[in-house]
Amino acid sequence: MSATVKIESLVFTDLSKFSQEVKKRDLGVDVGALLTFTGNYVKELPEGLIMKIVDYDDDPTKIMIFFKKTNLAYSCKPVSREELEVYEDVLAKPYGLTTVIGLILLTQAVESFKRKRDKLVEMYKALEMNFDENAHREITRQYQEYYDRLEDLSDLLLKLEERGIPQVETNIASFDYSILLAEVNSLFDRAKMRIGMLKELHFEYEMRISRQLNQRVEVLSDVVKRLTAITVVLMVPNIIAGHFGMNFRFMPELDIPWVYPAVVIAQIIISVTILLIFRKKGWF
């Protein structure tokens, strides 16, 4: 790599300084408008390339503006000279510098996706230990967003490989770009698997809640049966007692000596009979 190349004047870590430099060089690029795009963005120009990458860093945007005579990039994480020197052979080739810068910034993006994956896995394990409906919705939302961003990043890497953009010439670093794409696809597949596992976890939760509800309904039904049986058992004595409690003037049975013990015995026999019937039915 040429000793005259100053990394700090090529890759900016301050977005405002980067924007000022773009404006000063009159590149015709609206950085503000570029930032309004929510996903990744690639635009080929007659003399260069504009590329935006979205990752999961504190400042999730990386921007590369590569022209024949002017090369500028922005990333919240700096690019060191040591990182560039690893690709010394690639740097010696035409567009080698911009190709390596692109590779490093894309690698930074993939690393941020790995860190996000680790956080999501921790959240999933916590949910698995203690399921919460609100937490499940939030994790599912984050995983879906993560999945969509990975798909977008995978598409971007495929475009770089297939379209042969000179400013990011993947052919001269094909091995490294292939590894990067393989890592993204691996993260993509794992995210898809986790989304499926989240659906299964929610289904298991619903089944568990349904079983608990059925058990409560069974307990309540058993209580209702017992209360109904008790009511029927006590109903007959109440009817008889109500009969003899009526204040009619002529009630001849009141004058018969054996009627009272007969009524008591009849009450006992009827109540025990009803009780035995209900026990046979399993209500007691």
Cα 200 to the chain's mean position, in Å? 12
Distance CA 156, CA 113 (A): 15
Q: Per-residue pLDDT tens for 187-234?
A: 999 999 999 999 999 999 889 888 888 888 888 888 887 777 777 777
| β partners of residue 52 | 41, 63
Tokens of 124: 């999933």
Is residue 77 within a helix (H) or strand (E), and if so which, with residue range? none
| Domains parsed from the chain with CATH numbers | 7-209 (1.20.58), 215-281 (1.20.58.340)
Q: Per-residue pLDDT tens for 16-70?
A: 999 999 988 888 888 988 888 888 888 888 778 899 998 888 778 899 998 877 8
Q: Following DSSP, what letter does each residue of 231-265 receive, concatenated?
A: HHHHHHHHHHHHHHT---S--GGGG-TTHHHHHHH
Q: Per-residue pLDDT tens for 167-185?
A: 888 888 889 999 999 999 9
Amino acid of residue 46: P
- Distances in Å between the Cα of 160 and the Cα atoms of 67, 102, 149 are 16, 10, 17
* Alpha-helical runs (H) found in the chain: 7-10, 15-24, 31-36, 81-85, 88-91, 96-129, 133-163, 174-244, 259-281
Tokens of 179: 């590894």
User: 151 exposed, middle or buried (CB, 10 Å; 0-12, 13-18, 19+)?
Assistant: middle
- pTM, rounded to two decimals: 0.74
